[in-house]
Structures are given as C-alpha cells and as structure tokens.
Amino acid sequence: EPAPLREARAWVHGAGTLAVLTGAGMSAESGIATFRDAQTGLWAKFDPAQLASPEGFRTNPSLVWDWYAERRKGVQRALPNAGHVALAQYEKTHLGRVTIVTQNVDDLHQRAGSTDVIRLHGDILQDVWLDTGRCRPCDMSRAVPGSPPRCAACGNLVRPGVVWFGEMLPAEALSRAELLAQSCDAMLVIGTSGAVYPAAGLAHTARRAGAKVIILNPEPSEIDDEAHLLLRGTAARILPALLQTE
Ligand code: NAD
Ligand code: APR
C-alpha cells in the first residue's frame, strides 16, 4: 500500500471531526461531466457565463432552461459511485464526526446515504422562482409548463435552484462550512480544481486552523499548496481503500 494512503488513513481515522469538501470530480465516475476537465468538461463545449449566470438566463431563458433540463436528466440517470458509497458508510460508523461540504448540485451523496451534507451551490433537482421578491408567493404547483415554466398569475419565471456565476452562495450553508473548516481535525478535499471561491478557500481556512489537509485528485489542482498530503487517484478507486474501517 502506498505510504501516502497509509498516512492519510491514519489522519482520517484519527480525526475527531472530519470535513470532506467535494467537487465535480466526485461524480465523474458516475458519468456526470465535470466543468474543467479538458476534453470531457462542460466548459469545453459551453460558455459558462452565457449559460450559468443571471444575465444568461435573462437574455435567453429557454436556452438556459433546456441546458439545465439536459443536465438534470443526466443527474437522474446517474448512480452513486463507490466513492459516494464509501463516504456514506464511513459516516454511519462515525456518527456525528463526518460532514460533507459539496460544490456539486447532484444528489449522489444523499442517494448513497450521506446525511450530513452542506450544499454550497444549490440543487439542480430543485426549481425556484426567478423573482422571489413578488408581493405574494407564486404557487409552483400552478406554474404553466414551458421552457422555462412561468407563473400563470403574474408571469414570474421558474429557474434552476443552483448558484450561478457571480451569485452569492446560500449564507447559512456558507457559514456552516466556514465553521466546520475552522474546527475540523482533518479535511479531505476530493475532485475539485480549486478554481472557484469561496468554496476553494475552505481548504486554506482548515489548514490555517491546524487541520490536516488531504487532497484526492488525479490531476494537480489550484489549491494543492494547502495539502499536507496529495493522493493522486480517483474518488471511486481511492475512497474505499482510504475509508475502510477494518
Ligand atoms: P456555475 O458555473 O454557475 O457555478 C456557479 C459557481 O461558479 C458560483 O459559486 C461562482 O462562485 C462560480 N464561479 C464564478 N466565476 C467563475 C468562473 N470564472 N469560473 C468558474 N466558476 C465560477 O455552475 P452551474 O453550471 O450553474 O451548475 C451549478 C453547479 O453545478 C455548480 O455549483 C457546480 O458545483 C456544479 N456541478 C455539479 C456537478 C455535479 O453535480 N456532479 C458537476 C459539475 C458541476
Ligand atoms: N476523481 C477525483 N477527482 C476527479 C475525477 C475523479 N474520478 N475526475 C476528475 N477529477 C478532478 C479533476 O482533476 C478536477 O480537478 O475533479 C476536478 C473537477 O474540477 P471542476 O470541473 O473545476 O469542478 P469543480 O472543482 O467542482 O468546480 C468548482 O466551479 O464551475 C463552477 O460551480 C461550478 O461548483 C463548480 C465550481
């Protein structure tokens, strides 16, 4: 067994509180495209600012809606991979000591059985109203089907419940994630390029607060300097070995 894996296992199992920060790479082996992987990444085909931003949606709501509808179908077809399952099992045998902070908008951690999951960038399976400030809340069940659906009464549009470029992250989720990064004994960072803040900053926060930082990624990431230990491999292959308890 490679030394880094043995050392990482000692840190993970020795941690009273384990924080797990996941990105798109966590779900790559479930068949969901990441953003920045050169060939397969979503950004190789689309301009993110055009599709994943409030301006993009305002300019062309049906194009953005259809793009998300496509990705939503991909998420619904996907299955949790061995990495998601290993994390969920580990949480079960270490109740109250494992919290996942995810940048992903799929529900694969939850479907694998993880219960303590902080979602920084929303949920692609959720619909929300574009204009939440309306005088009276529109009734989602009465939205007129379309691309995108709209409120029959006031014309308000339905949008995907994800965080877009330049949008604020949900405050409660972000503050929980910050507190976790400041208090955890170890942070396991899986499948993120570390390209996007504030999520990527959580590894720096954990390291500065004295946590052991382990980064699991087949490729170098922009936050590798924060790692005490780098595991060069994929989530579905490394996590079962790293988290096995016997
Ligand atoms: P998105 O492109 O809108 O990402 C929103 C996030 O991008 C914001 O938090 C923002 O801080 C960040 N951002 C800002 N500037 C950026 C830049 N220049 N380059 C890259 N990111 C920038 O994401 P989306 O397409 O609306 O999808 C929503 C979610 O999909 C994202 O939160 C991302 O985590 C995610 N995702 C999930 C999966 C999965 O669920 N497995 C796979 C790929 C991506
Ligand atoms: N196992 C582990 N890591 C993997 C795997 C795998 N099987 N396959 C790819 N990776 C790694 C890649 O090396 C890359 O570092 O996953 C990372 C994917 O990076 P991104 O595509 O940038 O995804 P992410 O880091 O989640 O993006 C952050 O930016 O576009 C926005 O909001 C979006 O939440 C996303 C945020």
Question: pLDDT digits over 115-172, tens only?
Answer: 999 999 999 999 999 998 776 778 888 899 999 999 988 899 999 999 999 899 999 9
Rounded CA-CA distance 217/102 in Å is 15
Looking at residue 4, what is its pLDDT? 92
Give the residue ranges of the annotated binding site for substrate: 68, 71
- 45 exposure class (CB count in 10 Å sphere: 0-12, 13-18, 19+): exposed
Cα of 153 from ligand 1 centre, angstroms: 32
Note the pTM of the prediction, 2 decimals: 0.89
Looking at residue 47, what is its pLDDT? 81
> Which residues, 6+ apart, have CB-to-CB distance to 167 below 8 Å?
53, 54
- Look up 109 and say whether it is catalytic: no
Ligand nearest to the CA of residue 48, numbered in listed order: 1
Cα of 23 from ligand 2 centre, angstroms: 5
Rounded CA-CA distance 166/55 in Å is 10
Ligand 1 close to Cβ of residue 52 (< 6 A)? yes
Rounded CA-CA distance 218/201 in Å is 20
Cα of 88 from ligand 2 centre, angstroms: 20
- Tell me the pLDDT tens digit for each residue of 65-94: 999 999 999 999 999 999 999 999 999 999
